[in-house]
Amino acid sequence: MAAEDTIFALATAQGKAGVAVVRLSGPQSVQVLEALGASAPKPRATRLVHLRDRDGGLLDHALVLHFAEGASFTGEAVIELHLHGSVAVVRAVLRAIEGTGLARQAEAGEFTRRALMNDRLDLTQVQGLGDMIEADTEVQRRHALRVFSGEMAERVTAWRNAILRAAALVEATIDFADEDVPVDVAPEVMELLEGVAADLRHEVSGAAVASRIRSGFEVALVGPPNVGKSSLINALTRSEAAIVSDIAGTTRDVIEVRLDLDGLPVTILDMAGLRDSSDPIERMGIDRAVKRATAADIRVFLMEVDEDWDERVALQEGDLRVRAKVDLYGGEGISAVSGAGIPEFLQALSERLQQRVATAGLVTADRHVELYRLAMVELDGLDADQIREAPELFSEVLRKVACDLRQVIGGVDTEAILGEIFASFCIGK
């Protein structure tokens, strides 16, 4: 492992807390602790120590954890200092660590970058970890944890293995073309490749939903002025089913309210400006609102009686039509005033979104979706006749697809790919 600087940073959130954790990573981690007047416990053990500044002044009583090189999050020697979680304690300890001259402040994401460089995590896990830290809702947590646990990397590895096995089978026909090697490998090769292509197709078509799990599903309230959109938003934010985590008015035309709906991250959009107007500036704003509503995951068309909805926004599959102000007009629907129908309305929204979540893939990064899409196109372009007609070309395409897919997990290592082809070849025989 290359000699690195030793880095340190507060690993827990800023501010008052019972405990604050400062993490050190790098070859000098233990020496930093010693420079603070304490000795490290054995790896994976803990010790209660007194941390002191250069003049011997007591900084804090801290619980110390020690992870040896090769057995830590970063792959380097790691010391964790569990301090009393006050702003002043943390500041004093960080200053004392810096004062040892043995370590420097970590840059953003540097611990994780080291974990990646030292093969403690692959690229997909880094992304899963980032999403897990950002997760506000239960569905986001579960999705991020699957990626962090390596499920995406496992899928990619399984596809690569299938592709490399197919390549090895095709190569066997080249090597033994003149000999008496029987079998038509085409059925097995095509079955392997069709399986991978089907999985890729599923992932690519589920990528948009996976992205929504990360960023939130958008539900647009559409209807004429005064139908009760703002009142509904107010009623939703008071409702127990929906915990508001964020309220932001991004533009004059759209008001956004973020809800946790049965674990789903949902942003309700109030198209505040949707009405006929002769003012060109306002009309531009309305056009933007219409585009936003059209792009949302679900539109809720609110109406007082059974009038037609706003035709500027087209009805799409899965949209809801809801009658408002039922306290005045009676019948089925919702009332922002009495609260009637609101739980049923939320239930209907939740069910529609849960159905979409069921189709989600794991992949969200645009770069990965593009890699999957390209691999799918390459595989779809192959057919069984080509195995006989141009086996070299056929296996060359497969090697390239396997190599490209590897980029999802991390670095590209041709040697490893060749090794795998060889291993697969032997096993396959």
Which residues sit at the interface with ligand GDP, rule CB under 6 A? Answer: 223, 225-231, 324-325, 327-328, 335-337
Per-state percent for the chain, helix, strand, coil, to nearest 5: 50, 20, 35
Least separation, in Å, of the C-beta of 232 and ligand GDP?
A: 7
Helix and strand element counts for the chain (H, E)? 16, 12
Least separation, in Å, of the C-beta of 353 and ligand GDP?
A: 23
Helix H or strand E encompassing 77: none
- Show the tokens assigned to 398: 């497969």
Based on its alpha-carbon atoms, the radius of gyration of the chain, rounded to whole angstroms, reads 29
Least separation, in Å, of the C-beta of 402 and ligand GDP?
A: 55
d(CA 393, CA 44) in angstroms, rounded, equals: 52
Least separation, in Å, of the C-beta of 301 and ligand GDP?
A: 12
Amino acid at site 87: V
Nearer to ligand GDP, 336 or 401 (CB): 336
Helices assigned H by DSSP within 52-185: 87-99, 110-117, 123-134, 138-148, 151-175
The CA–CA distances, whole Å, from 254 to 50, 146, 212, 281, 312 equal 55, 34, 19, 15, 16
Least separation, in Å, of the C-beta of 130 and ligand GDP?
A: 37
Nearer to ligand GDP, 162 or 236 (CB): 236
Nearer to ligand GDP, 337 or 423 (CB): 337
Nearer to ligand GDP, 79 or 336 (CB): 336
Strands 104-105 and 7-10 turn out to be: parallel
Least separation, in Å, of the C-beta of 268 and ligand GDP?
A: 12
Question: Which residue's CB atom is positioned nearest to ligand GDP?
Answer: 228
Nearer to ligand GDP, 207 or 272 (CB): 272
Nearer to ligand GDP, 168 or 242 (CB): 242
